[in-house]
Amino acid sequence: MANRHNLLNGPEPAEFRPKLKIVIVLIMVALAVLLSRLWYLQVIKGDDLKQRSENNSIRFRKIMPLRGLIMDRNRRVMVDNRPSFDVLYMPSRGKDPDHLIAKLKDLYKLRSLEFSYDQPLSRKLKPYLPVRLEKNVSMEKVALVETNALDLSGIYIDASPVRLYLNGETIAPVIGYTGEISKEELEKDDEYLSGDVLGKHGVEKHLDPYIRGSRGAELVEVNVYGKEIKNLGRIDPVPGYNVVLNIDADLQKTAWEALNGRAGAAVVLDPRNGAVLAMVSSPSFDPNLFNSGISSEQWSKFVHDPLTPLSNRAISGQYPPGSTYKLIIAAAALEEGIITPDTKFFCNGFYDFGNRSFRCWQKKGHGQISLHRALVESCDVYFYNVGRLLGVDKIAHYAKLFGLGETTGIDLPNEKGGLIPTKRWKLARMKEPWQSGETISISIGQGFNLVTPLQLVCAYSAFANGGTVWKPRLVNRIESTDGSLYKEFLPEKRGDLPFSEETFDLLGRALWGVVNESGGTGRAARRPDADVCGKTGTAQIIGLPENEKARREKKIGIFHRDHALFVCFAPLTNPEIAVAVIVENAGHGGTVAAPVARKILDVYFEGKKSMAQPQAAVQGRLAEATD
């Protein structure tokens, strides 16, 4: 029985006590170690670990604002926004970026997709600053990253707005495009952050402070896979202001189509106030290409293209004005009293000066010719004589009254000023005195003369409106998102043409004759209403031999052929539209540039008629109601 009792109750307590004490001591030591470690983590390293824990589970994300809309004068949207999806990498959540990117590339290859990020990731990445791997990716790539999130820890999709250019290349050099801020731009202004998007060209750049809005931010809690599980706080972004241009989208499209892919420019202005109704530069580019981050190959192609599609020829293309300059010469000579309306010169097809013979475009000559017919038929010899009597400095004085040879101040970046030469300019620039033969060349818009298409249309607009040189205005107003006015751009006067009424009347009728009289060089711009006044021009790019046979035999490359110009306004009385067209290396202004202007004028006046018909119908019904 005693043995059975011992088996049931085990060893006596006295025998177990030494072992129990050892176990208790071990437990106490272990607890002491755990408590000391806990104290170290909670007290000594508590703040640091808390911050690290929060950083591992909380993500700070900036929210890009919607850029303001850009609309034409009739409030038709030309530039909008659309959602874009980017592939980002968060260094704090991905331990081996090279391995992750290799995985992503393999997933892409299975779907025949290309991985566009071609730069090695720095080993000094900030843990909680995301790196954009791809921008504006397709929905197929979005789905691929999302469905493989478990295998791509640290790589995720982020949404942001990008520009949608609805009119594409027809207005790209004017509107411009946007792009991610560069290192140089970041260093200049501490207001920006890495990854910010800003205007890089055109209106987008010029009005970027108004258009871009203010970025927002939010704190989100994410799980171990980087998925958002809770929003901890948010500051909403503020959208940018909307912009209403003076551009008429219909005229813009017409001018673009009329150039038909040829290199050149067309500018349409309201001579009553300087509003720019259309501005085309060809060739152009698709600004939507820049939304995905343009490749270095594509950028190099743009930059090295001899036709310079990224430039805005309307404001930065500098060309000899050719015979369009004869209006300035005629006005200067009349105002200086050097000639009268009845002054005549004899044209036999050339003008001898010293040992050189200056040709007229009309080989047989125009015979005895007066000022009116000299403008109508564009006689070179007449203006050789007049220009020599005026002298280079008098010519320059009047050209500058018209606003030539200096920037117009249009609300666009990168405008160029052209060149109107003087004796002082040549001496300072070339260390040589002015030669009399050079005056003869500039008298027909050749030689050193350089103007932009915008300057030409501004000059003719000033003549058309009776003498007011307006500053050209591309932007009409800036509005808040609810449509209320924030800033309005009113007509701004730049100068005056101090000409007599007789000069305006005489030369106005001559410009009308260029288009509407028999023998006029601008007949291709004639409309049934006979309301167009203008001047053709053919600008020579390189010097040609005086001998006719040698001229025919000389081979001229395409980039050295003559430019075709035409500048006009309509109607003769109270003009409301002015157009300047240049088509590069295309030949004669009357046969090439004038038809382009004619198409623009037709659309403008047809649009006026279509608007007037409903108004007339309404007025008729009102009159019937009152009878």
pTM of the model: 0.83
**Residue 514 CB burial class (10 angstroms; 0-12, 13-18, ≥19):** buried
Residues whose CB falls within 8 Å of the CB of residue 575, separated by 6 or more in sequence, listed in order: 271, 272, 461, 464, 465, 533, 569
Whether the pLDDT of residue 92 is over 80: the answer is no
Q: What is the pLDDT of residue 550?
A: 47
How many whole angstroms separate alpha carbon 172 and alpha carbon 309?
A: 10
User: ω into residue 614 within 30 of 0, thus cis?
Assistant: no
**Measured CA distances, 425 to 115, 429, 434 (Å):** 55, 6, 9
**Identity at 194, one-letter amino acid code:** S
- Tens digits of per-residue pLDDT, 478-524? 999 999 999 999 999 999 999 999 999 999 999 999 999 999 999 99
Which two three-digit tokens encode residue 256? 């673009």
**Identity at 383, one-letter amino acid code:** F
How many whole angstroms separate alpha carbon 522 and alpha carbon 516?
A: 8
Placement of tokens 């824990």 in the chain: 53
Whether the pLDDT of residue 1 is over 70: the answer is no
Q: How far is CA 321 from the centre of its chain?
A: 24
Tell which wins on pLDDT, 15 or 489.
Answer: 489
Tell which wins on pLDDT, 100 or 277.
Answer: 277
The residues carrying an active-site annotation are: 323
Radius of gyration of the chain (CA): 37
- Tens digits of per-residue pLDDT, 46-57? 665 555 554 456
Which two three-digit tokens encode residue 18? 């030494």
Give the class (CATH, top level) of 312-611: alpha beta
Supply the DSSP string of 65-82, one letter for each residue: PPPPPEE-TT--EEEEEE
- Tens digits of per-residue pLDDT, 49-80? 555 554 456 666 778 899 999 999 999 999 99
Supply the DSSP string of 606-617, one letter for each residue: HHHHHHHHHHHH
Q: 179-191 b/e with 16+ CB inside 10 Å = b?
A: bebeeeeeeeeee
H/E stretch holding 252: helix 249-259
Please compute the mean of the pLDDT values over residues 109-115 and round it to a whole number.
87
H/E stretch holding 551: helix 548-553
Please compute the mean of the pLDDT values over residues 229-248 and round it to a whole number.
90
User: Would you tell me how many other CB atoms lie within 10 Å of the CB of residue 29?
Assistant: 10
| Three-state secondary-structure class, residue 484 | coil
pLDDT above 90 covers a percentage of the chain that reads 62
Record: fold of 59-245: Penicillin-binding protein 2a (Domain 2) (3.90.1310)
Placement of tokens 């004899």 in the chain: 346
pLDDT band at 622 (very low <50, low <70, confident <90, very high): very low
How many whole angstroms separate alpha carbon 83 and alpha carbon 151?
A: 26
How many whole angstroms separate alpha carbon 12 and alpha carbon 121?
A: 71
Q: What is the pLDDT of residue 14?
A: 64
The region of weakest confidence among 451-455, 559-563, 604-608, 611-615 is: 611-615
Placement of tokens 């006596």 in the chain: 12
Residues in the chain: 627
**Measured CA distances, 254 to 90, 260, 313 (Å):** 49, 10, 17
Which two three-digit tokens encode residue 474? 């591309």
Mean pLDDT in the chain?
87
Which residues on adjacent β-strands are paired with residue 351? 358
How many whole angstroms separate alpha carbon 520 and alpha carbon 19?
A: 125
Task: Enumerate the domain spans of the chain.
Answer: 2-44, 59-245, 312-611
